[in-house]
Each structure stands twice: as structure tokens, then as C-alpha cells.
Amino acid sequence: MSSPIANNTKNFVQQLMVKSHQKLAHNQRINYLAHFFIQLVDKLNLANKKVIDIGCGDMTLATSLQKQWVGCSMHCVDTYPLPSDLKESSTWEKYTAYDGLVLPFENQSMDIALLCDVLHHDFEQATQLLNEALRVAKVVLLKDHFEYGFVSRQTLRLMDFVGNWGYGVSIPKRYYSLSSFEQQLEQLSYAEEIKRICPIPLYEHHFLFRHLCPAKLQFVSVLKSSYQNTSYE
């Protein structure tokens, strides 16, 4: 997710990009995803008392979820230190900065872990991050992208540029293919994929983006943890 604290010295062009992104797509995207995740949790009869948003970005998704999920407590983590001017903000009081490797939570202490458009920014650490999510939470909701060749890869890179460059977040060089995601699942220590949803019409509301970034590029995978408080490798 786009993070306003990834780069605290944005130039004029970056500031303009951030404002344009938020106006064109970001807010509607957050509303869609919050509604989507809530419906998914309800359909799967998943507990939602404690939710951790890993790679929470600007906190808008977590804030939207907490408002709509009755009785839900949100815990948010990302790799960026919190600026001093935000430490007294009620929005950021549920935020914890961490090293990007080991989540600062006990085994199976969360009901749901959410990874929304996080893994494609750091494939080298994706297995470690997913295994940590499966250690900490009973269920992992993973939202990311599928590429199908050169054109879709460049399309996704363009969308990431619009959504992330202004914030100072890195632009990926590649994304999951159908086969590479299957390989990713095989590398996980304690995971069972219980549901996969693709396509997802995330940009159906926007005339330009729904053609530029078709629904088949978006997917959600639901992973059930089988972690049993044993030694974790």
C-alpha cells in the first residue's frame, strides 16, 4: 500500500503525483477493498476480532476496516519509522514499525493477517514474510497481482508508478505469474490455500483504469495456517 511516511522530503512533482493518485483512484480503491474483504470474511465465516495489516501504508484501509467491522481490533505494521509529528495522531496509534522480517507478535495471536499489494515490492523476502504472517495469524488474506506477459507486466508497473512513485516506494520489476504463485505456495511451511478469487474488478468504477488495468490482473488468495507452536523454520 502507498505510504506517506516512506519519503518525508517529497519534491513538487512527487507531491503532485500523490494528490493526483488520491483524487483519481486511491480513495475509491480503498472503499472497494474494504467492502470486498468484509464480505469475504463473512462468507468464509472467519473470526475477525484481531486483524494485522502487514505493509499497511497510509493506514486508510485499516481505518476503513475498523470502522465497518464491529468488534474488530486492527494492528498495523510497516517498515518505516513513524515521524514525530504523527505520534500523537489517533489514526497512527495502532501502528508499529518493524524490521520487515520478524513480526513483533506472538504465535497465532491474530485471527487474520492482511497483505494487500505488498509482496510484489520485495519478492526476495516474500516467503519469509508469508511464513511470519502464517505464524502470527490463523488466516492470511493475500491480495496481489498476476502478470501474463510483457504487456500486462508493463501495465502493472505503470499503475505502480502512479500509485507509489510519489510516495517514494519502489517500483517492482515483475509480478506473480500463475505458475510462480503456485511455486510460492509450495515454499510456505504452514499454509493451505482454501480459496482464490480472480478476476477482481477493482477499477470497474473508473472508465480509463478498468481498460488499462483489467480485472484479471488482480487476485486474492486465502491461506489457512497450520502452525502448531512448534519450532519455526
Binned at pLDDT 50, 70 and 90, residue 187 comes out as: very high
Q: How far is CA 139 from CA 41, 100, 159, in A?
A: 10, 19, 28
pLDDT score, position 19 = 58
- What value does the CA radius of gyration of the chain take, rounded to a whole number of Å? 17
Q: Which CATH superfamily is domain 27-224 in?
A: Vaccinia Virus protein VP39 (3.40.50.150)
Q: Could you tell me how far CA 17 lies from the centroid of its own chain?
A: 21
Highest mean pLDDT of the ranges 18-22, 155-159, 177-181: 177-181
Distance CA 223, CA 105 (A): 19
Q: Which residue has the cell 490463523?
A: 138
In tens, the pLDDT along 204-216 reads: 877 777 778 899 9
Q: What is the model's pTM?
A: 0.90
Q: Which three cell numbers stand for residue 195?
A: 480459496
* Single-letter amino acid code for the residue at 225: S
Cell of 180: 510462480
Q: Which residue has the higher pLDDT, 4 or 80?
A: 80
Give the pLDDT score at 212: 80
- How far apart are the C-alpha atoms of 111 and 101, rounded to whole Å? 20
Residue 11 pLDDT level (bands cut at 50, 70, 90): low
Residues 6+ apart with CB under 8 A from 3: 56, 57, 58, 78, 80, 167, 168, 169
pLDDT, tens only, 97-151: 999 999 999 999 999 999 999 999 999 999 999 999 999 999 999 999 999 999 9
In the chain, where the domains are located: 27-224
Cell 491461506 sits on residue: 223
Q: Hey, what's the cell of 92?
A: 497512527
Q: Tally helices (H) and strands (E) across the chain.
A: 7, 7
Q: Which residue has the cell 480513495?
A: 27
Q: What are φ and ψ of residue 11, in 5° steps?
A: -80, 180
Question: pLDDT at residue 232 above 50?
Answer: no
Question: How far from the centroid of its chain's Cα atoms is residue 150's Cα?
Answer: 24
- pLDDT exceeding 90 applies to what percent of the chain? 62
Q: What phi, psi does 119 have (nearest 5°)?
A: -65, -35
